[in-house]
């Protein structure tokens, strides 16, 4: 099913209104900026279906994102997920049941001191590997489901409550090194749950080769105090529409990896032609359980999975996602068929003059 | 699960990768044509900034997502600032990207 990163929480409407009020204040302050700095509302609207073992689930979903700059150095940003899931009742009963979900994914303030340092405060996405920060939005991901190991290193909630320093440590013509380091306090707040943890990520990017390699490390600083290690490799050969992304993550109880490749042909009229809009995707992933203690969201037994996707990039920011997956494990093998349509919206927060 | 179950998939991946790379050289040549054509004439400062902005866009933004189509110029500064945080862009990069998005 849909990879709704573990950041999902269920906030009361009253608190949502409170945050809306806060953003209204931020928007008003942002009006003092220049004309190009109007706060924006973006995000994705999707209708997704997933058939797993003969049972089909239907999920209409919206992931709104708002961003409001204040002055020359500050950005306030937040993303949320709201969905309704319709699934078969099961147990011999006919018909469908449904469940509702609304959650903030993150809510953070960024102070851009320089290229080398941005100070982030609030509820932020944990910078462990790449999927959580870069690929999890519904309008970005190539496949509906996130990788099996996506939960590793994300401290259950996927977000931290505290502070983060990030930026570019070194930038040269042939290489650059980025970093992100964070500390999160423990929080049992219904809206912003977080575990006490710290960690970070460092990545080396070779712009001429379009190659990025990075390492991540997180440590849970409460209860069992587990360590998590991660590594990622991204490669996008220059002047092509081929992308290769991969991650490895190791936790205290399980480890795994995924490799994903996608391609859009530039023949037959280019990427905006009928054929160029097709985007085949392939992802291969494996997880390995190190013990039977379950605390990380990974499958209970060693699992392999192959995802074959075919996306179609329609004009006007719309995208059709289709995929077939086969998952293998010692408990059972099964097929997963998924289809979806996603629309990405992006507009100013208010009408201009 | 024995690893042999995954061998066909690995084979499929290899074939897919080979097929993709088989078309890469022609793809690259196709893309280089406009760039070569531009070199025959002296580049204006605006062209240079656009090229710089395009390079920054390709190296930082389009690695993760497709370019959004048809957005208002009133939010181009906000989009770029969002990217500045995500991709650790410099002030110069921000200006070049802004010029590229909103020429």
The span from the CA of A79 to the CA of A64, in Å, is 6
The span from the CA of B72 to the CA of A154, in Å, is 35
Domain ranges of chain A: 13-348
Q: How many CA atoms lie within 13 A of A351 on its CB side?
A: 1
Q: Please tell me if residue A245 touches chain B, with a CB cutoff of 8 Å.
A: no
Q: Which residue has the tokens 């994102």?
A: A65
3-class state of residue A338 by DSSP: strand
Residue A49 has pLDDT above 90, yes or no: yes
Put simply, the answer to whether A266 touches B75 (Cβ < 8 Å) is no
* % of chain A beyond a pLDDT of 70: 90
What pLDDT, on a 0 to 100 scale, did the predictor assign at position A22?
55
The residue among B7 and A191 whose pLDDT is bigger is: A191
Q: What is the C-alpha R_g of chain A?
A: 21
Residue A191 has pLDDT above 90, yes or no: no
Closest CA relative to residue A226, chosen from A196, A191, A184:
A196
Put simply, the answer to whether B75 touches A38 (Cβ < 8 Å) is yes
Put simply, the answer to whether B32 touches A239 (Cβ < 8 Å) is yes
- Residue numbers in B near A70 (CB within 8 A): none
Question: Poorest-confidence range of A13-27, A95-109, A285-299?
Answer: A13-27
CA dihedral A14, A19, A21, A25 (to 10 degrees): 170
3-class state of residue B7 by DSSP: helix
What pLDDT, on a 0 to 100 scale, did the predictor assign at position B19?
44
What pLDDT, on a 0 to 100 scale, did the predictor assign at position A156?
84
Put simply, the answer to whether A347 touches B71 (Cβ < 8 Å) is yes
Q: What is the pLDDT of residues A207-238, one digit of tens each?
A: 999 999 999 999 999 888 899 999 999 999 98
Read off the pLDDT band of A36 (50, 70, 90): confident
- Residue numbers in B near A42 (CB within 8 A): 68
Q: Please tell me if residue A32 touches chain B, with a CB cutoff of 8 Å.
A: no
Let me know if domain A13-348 sits in CATH 2.40.160.10. Answer: yes
Phi, psi of A225 (to 5 degrees): 50, 65
Read off the pLDDT band of B102 (50, 70, 90): confident
What pLDDT, on a 0 to 100 scale, did the predictor assign at position B31?
33
Residue B12 has pLDDT above 50, yes or no: no
Q: What is the pLDDT of residues A286-341, one digit of tens each?
A: 999 988 877 788 899 999 999 999 999 999 999 999 999 999 998 989 999 999 99
Task: Please name the residues in contact with B35: beta carbons below 8 A apart, sequence gap of 6 or more.
Answer: none
Q: Are A184 and A161 in contact (CB under 8 A)?
A: yes
DSSP A247-292: EEEE-SSEEEEEEEEEE----TT-TTSTTTTEEEEEEEEEEEESSS
Put simply, the answer to whether B26 touches A267 (Cβ < 8 Å) is yes
Q: What is the pLDDT of residues A155-168, one digit of tens each?
A: 888 999 999 999 99
Q: What is the pLDDT of residues B19-41, one digit of tens each?
A: 444 444 433 333 333 333 333 45
The residue among B62 and A201 whose pLDDT is bigger is: A201
Q: Please give the mean pLDDT across all residues of chain B.
A: 67
The span from the CA of A62 to the CA of A82, in Å, is 5
Q: Please tell me if residue A216 touches chain B, with a CB cutoff of 8 Å.
A: no
Task: Please name the residues in contact with A45: beta carbons below 8 A apart, sequence gap of 6 or more.
Answer: A61, A62, A342, A343, A345
Put simply, the answer to whether B16 touches A37 (Cβ < 8 Å) is no
Residues 40 through 99 of chain A touching chain B, CB cutoff 8 Å = 40, 42, 67-69, 75, 77
Q: Are A305 and A282 in contact (CB under 8 A)?
A: no
What pLDDT, on a 0 to 100 scale, did the predictor assign at position A255?
95
Residue B7 has pLDDT above 70, yes or no: no
What pLDDT, on a 0 to 100 scale, did the predictor assign at position A251?
92
Put simply, the answer to whether A352 touches B72 (Cβ < 8 Å) is yes
What pLDDT, on a 0 to 100 scale, did the predictor assign at position B44?
64
Residue A25 has pLDDT above 80, yes or no: no
What pLDDT, on a 0 to 100 scale, did the predictor assign at position A85?
95
DSSP class of B60: I
Shortest Cα–Cα distance, A329 to chain B (Å): 6
pTM reported for the whole predicted model: 0.82
Q: What is the C-alpha R_g of chain B?
A: 19
């Amino acid at each position: 099913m849909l990879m709704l990163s573990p950041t999902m929480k269920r906030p009361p409407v009253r608190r949502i209104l409170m945050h809306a009020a806060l953003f209204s204040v931020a928007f008003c302050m942002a009006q003092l900026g220049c004309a190009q700095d109007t706060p924006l509302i973006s995000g994705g609207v999707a209708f997704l279906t997933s058939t797993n073992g003969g049972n089909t689930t239907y999920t209409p979903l919206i992931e709104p994102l708002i961003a409001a700059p204040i002055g020359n150095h500050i950005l306030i940003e937040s993303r949320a997920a709201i969905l309704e899931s319709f699934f078969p009742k099961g147990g011999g009963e006919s018909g469908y049941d449904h469940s509702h979900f609304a959650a903030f994914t993150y809510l953070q303030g960024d102070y851009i001191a320089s290229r080398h340092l941005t100070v982030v405060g609030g509820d932020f996405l944990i910078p462990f590997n790449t999927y959580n920060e870069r690929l999890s939005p519904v309008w970005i991901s190539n496949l509906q489901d996130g990788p099996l190991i996506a939960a590793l290193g994300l401290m259950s909630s996927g977000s931290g409550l505290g502070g983060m320093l990030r930026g570019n440590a070194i930038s040269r013509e042939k290489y650059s090194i980025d970093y992100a380091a964070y500390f999160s306090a423990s929080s049992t707040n219904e809206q912003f749950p977080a575990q006490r943890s710290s960690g970070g990520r460092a990545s080396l990017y070779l712009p001429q080769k379009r190659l990025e390699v990075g390492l991540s490390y997180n440590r849970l600083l409460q209860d069992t105090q587990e360590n998590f290690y991660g590594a990622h490799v991204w490669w996008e050969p220059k002047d092509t529409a081929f992308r290769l992304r991969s991650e490895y993550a190791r936790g205290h109880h399980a480890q795994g990896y995924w490799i994903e490749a996608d391609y859009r042909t530039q023949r037959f009229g280019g990427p905006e032609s009928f054929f160029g809009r097709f985007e085949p995707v392939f992802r291969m992933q494996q997880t390995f359980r190190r013990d039977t203690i379950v605390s990380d969201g990974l499958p209970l037994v060693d699992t392999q999975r192959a995802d074959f996707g075919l996306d179609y990039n329609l004009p006007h920011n719309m995208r059709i996602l289709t995929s077939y997956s086969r998952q293998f494990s010692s408990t059972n093998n099964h097929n997963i068929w998924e289809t979806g349509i996603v629309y990405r919206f992006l507009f100013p927060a208010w009408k201009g003059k | 699960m024995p690893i042999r179950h995954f061998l066909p998939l690995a084979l499929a991946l290899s074939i897919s990768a080979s097929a993709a790379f088989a078309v890469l050289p022609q793809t690259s040549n196709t893309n280089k044509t406009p760039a070569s054509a531009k070199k025959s004439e002296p580049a204006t400062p605006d062209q240079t900034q656009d090229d710089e902005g395009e390079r920054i866009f390709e190296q930082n933004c389009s690695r993760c997502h497709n370019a959004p189509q048809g957005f208002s110029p009133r939010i181009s500064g906000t989009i770029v600032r969002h990217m500045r945080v995500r991709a650790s862009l410099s002030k110069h990069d921000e200006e070049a990207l802004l010029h590229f998005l909103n020429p």
